[in-house]
Chain A
Amino acid sequence: MAYEKFEILNSTAVPLPIENVDTDQIIPARFLKATERKNFGDNLFRDWRYNGDDTPKSDFVLNNPTYSGKILVGGKNFGSGSSREHAAWAVYDYGFRCVISSFFADIFKGNCLNIGVLPVQVSTEFAAKIFDAIKEDPKTEISVNLPEQTVTLVKTGEKESFDINGYKKQNMLNGYDDIDYLNNIKTDISEFAKELPL
């Protein structure tokens, strides 16, 4: 599935300063029963967001109208746990295009890149600065610039650069995915397969 291209994102952000946010919190397993990719955003952080009777928990950040935006700022080791891409879908489908954290779990990060959510890994200090800035002013604007690979706190101009693999960067900029790439080299793949021992 193609996704929206990503170039420069200027947005306010939603803070979630919790460490080790795992994929079971991002989307609990019981919501993985669909056979289509539909409405996963509704169940993003389901058990933190709603009580057992489906009433919203007012103290959870997504239910707090003070905070909004297309950027989610998470604590260290964001996305640990399962390989379920549903977690990345839930983040995207809810409306986030970028997750900032000082550390990401591997598979989650890869899944994000495959579906059009930009994972931006910053230093612990810069992550703390972002959390502080949002605490002080929930309308703090953050600019994520993919071509330049920088993330900036617009008000103060404080800036940090982030890493992304060059190939993945091109994909994000163009809204392409790996499937397109692989489908184009199928003949090479079939040739290669003939030489394998197993």
Chain B
Amino acid sequence: MSTKKTLFDKVWDSHVVKHVEDGPDVLFIDRHLVHEVTSPVAFLGIKNRKSGVLFPNKTFATADHNTPTINQHLPVADPLSANQLKALEENAKEHGILHWGLGHEKNGIVHVVGPEYGITQPGATIVCGDSHTSTHGAFGAIAFGIGTSEVEMVLSTQCIMQPKPKKMRINIEGELNFGVTPKDAALYIISKLTTSGATGYFVEYAGDVFENMTMEGRMTVCNLSIEMGARGGMIAPDEKTFEYVKGREFTPKGAAWDKAMAYWETLKTDEGAIFDKELTFNAADIEPMITYGTNPGMGMGISKSIPNAEDLDGGVATYKKSLGYMAFNEGDNMIGKPIDFVFIGSCTNGRIEDFRAFTSIVKGRKKADNVTAWLVPGSHKVEAAIKEEGLLAILTEAGFELREPGCSACLAMNDDKVPAGKLAVSTSNRNFEGRQGPGSRTLLASPLVAAAAAVTGKVTDPRELMTA
């Protein structure tokens, strides 16, 4: 066997406590993120088994999925949501786990606050009871979502048991076109691979496009890895990564920093290391993307028309059902379709760079009257930056309001639900039936496409509103 290792191998192998014969690896977890929805049953489990939390300082809790995005200072109106938030607070307190609950200055979406405070680090294994944990792979960490039984395992033993996934490398070569964002690159890859194309694999993104991307952009890409079925995705850490991580609250300092750096600098795929699958795309082929169906793989360049069922391989009935739900027809153009809602936010596109992009288009324009817009920062830190950088003034001038942080309309567990039949352009990650509220219809897109829709009231190519 070759001794050449991929980035993924290096991090995974160094965290294997033990390999179970004919079974999975026991994988040690460096950082465990917890939120209110997928943790209560796990805490009940450790109570029933009387096992306690083995390393409370490796678990971090924040409330996000259920939280209201207005009037966060008031008691939460929905009793069930309030109950989950209270359970998280009590569980964290009982076990000595750091908890950033609703109203805390560091509160925000779990995958936004992790990197912001340096909990996310290169070479770490990071899990959370949430599939978009893949976000943290942007730092060269192995990060993926787990189920509640596994949340319990991590609480009580700091380990989970999983077979090592296969490895895939995805390269994009060249330079992204004008108006094309990391979100578009990710939606493009998913449209090529379908939502199951990377199932069983852990992805490493490589090549010019990812190297040139900001850390925020890399997070957007890694975040969406799960939407092509992958366990997770990662990008080798580089100067940009170390620069981002340095000096944050939970990153190592002094001698510990030097020790960490010595480890982090080894984190790249060896030349000649073997991947089970390797794909290469060309950046020049990617234009701003939009989805038209009910899974993230049903996406296309914004100037294209909806494919005919006959031109796809298989699944005609499912495809037609999906278009039926969306009330679209084969051959339709997306451009010009009137929309009702715009949502910018989520762990995919709720960071400061996304609000900068959104604002760059709405600046000097007005929100369309037919559009309800929800602008939801990923965290209080993002919210503060929006204000400090003067974006809020521009947004207000254009007729937009900023809400308070949380997952919001990404999964519509709180009151931010798109009503049945209404069409939303959303910067989030899933366009499943009813994802944004029962009967809601979702078009996934970048913050630029969302902004263009917000000011024109219909699906619009953002490049028309941008100056090169």
Contact = CB atoms under 8 A, between A and B. Distances in A.
B108 to A, nearest CB: 19
Contacts of A179: 45, 49, 51, 149, 152-153, 156-157
Contact of B41 (A22, A36, A166, A192): A36
B357 interface: no
A36 B80 CA distance: 12
B432 A165 contact: no
Contact of A192 (B28, B263, B438): B28
A50 to B, nearest CB: 10
B157 A52 contact: no
A170 B427 CA distance: 43
Contact of A25 (B81, B121, B153, B432): B432
A55 to B, nearest CB: 14
A88 interface: yes
B180 interface: no
A107 B147 contact: yes
B163 A165 contact: yes
B66 to A, nearest CB: 7
B38 A20 contact: no
B196 A105 contact: yes
A77 B195 contact: yes
Interface string B331-349: 0000000000000000000
A81 B28 contact: no
Interface in A63-102: 75-77, 80-86, 88
Given A30-B412, A77-B196, A188-B18, A24 B149 contact: no
Interface string B44-83: 1100110100110000000001100000000000101101
B428 interface: no
Nearest to B66: A33
Contacts of A77: 195-196, 199, 229
Nearest to B411: A29
Interface string B4-32: 00000000001101101111101010100
B38 A76 contact: no
B149 A182 contact: no
Contact of B149 (A25, A33, A115, A186): A115
Contact of A114 (B149, B200, B229): B149
A174 to B, nearest CB: 14
A197 B80 contact: no
A126 B263 CA distance: 49
B38 to A, nearest CB: 6
B158 A189 contact: yes
Nearest to B48: A1
A35 B84 CA distance: 6
Contacts of B124: 198
B54 A110 contact: no
B318 A111 contact: no
Contact of A80 (B51, B195, B413): B195
A80 B14 CA distance: 29
B220 interface: no
B318 A47 contact: no
A196 B30 contact: yes
Contacts of B80: 33-34
A156 interface: no
Contacts of B263: 197-198
Contacts of B207: none
B150 interface: yes
A182 B161 contact: yes
Given A182-B153, A183-B157, A198-B30, A83 B147 contact: yes
Contact of B438 (A33, A47, A76, A190): A47
A168 B124 CA distance: 26
A167 B321 contact: no
Contacts of A29: 65, 411-413, 435
Q: B interface, by DSSP: helix, strand, loop or mixed?
A: loop
Give the interface residue-count category, chain B: 35 or more
Contacts of A166: 21-23
Contacts of B26: 182, 185, 189
B430 interface: yes
B66 A106 contact: no
Given A24-B435, A167-B23, A192-B28, A35 B131 contact: no
B282 to A, nearest CB: 27
Contacts of B30: 196, 198
Given A32-B413, A83-B129, A193 B158 contact: yes
Interface in B144-167: 145-150, 152-153, 156-163, 165
A19 interface: yes
B156 A183 contact: yes
Contact of A165 (B24, B149, B318): B24
A193 B28 contact: yes
A35 B65 CA distance: 14
Contact of B153 (A178, A188, A196, A198): A178
A168 to B, nearest CB: 7
A7 interface: no
A25 B318 CA distance: 14
Contacts of B283: none
Nearest to B266: A197
B260 interface: yes
Q: Which of the listed residues B18, B45, B84, B159 has the most CB atoms from chain A within 10 Å of its own CB?
A: B159
Nearest to A112: B147
9 contacts: A18-B318, A33-B66, A76-B196, A83-B131, A106-B229, A114-B147, A182-B159, A189-B26, A192-B17
Given A30-B412, A32-B65, A193-B28, 14 more contacts: A18-B318, A18-B321, A28-B438, A29-B411, A36-B41, A82-B145, A83-B133, A166-B23, A179-B51, A181-B161, A182-B156, A182-B157, A189-B26, A190-B54
Q: What 7 A-B pairs have minimum CB-CB distances, sorted nearest first?
A: A167-B23, A83-B145, A166-B22, A85-B147, A33-B80, A35-B40, A111-B147
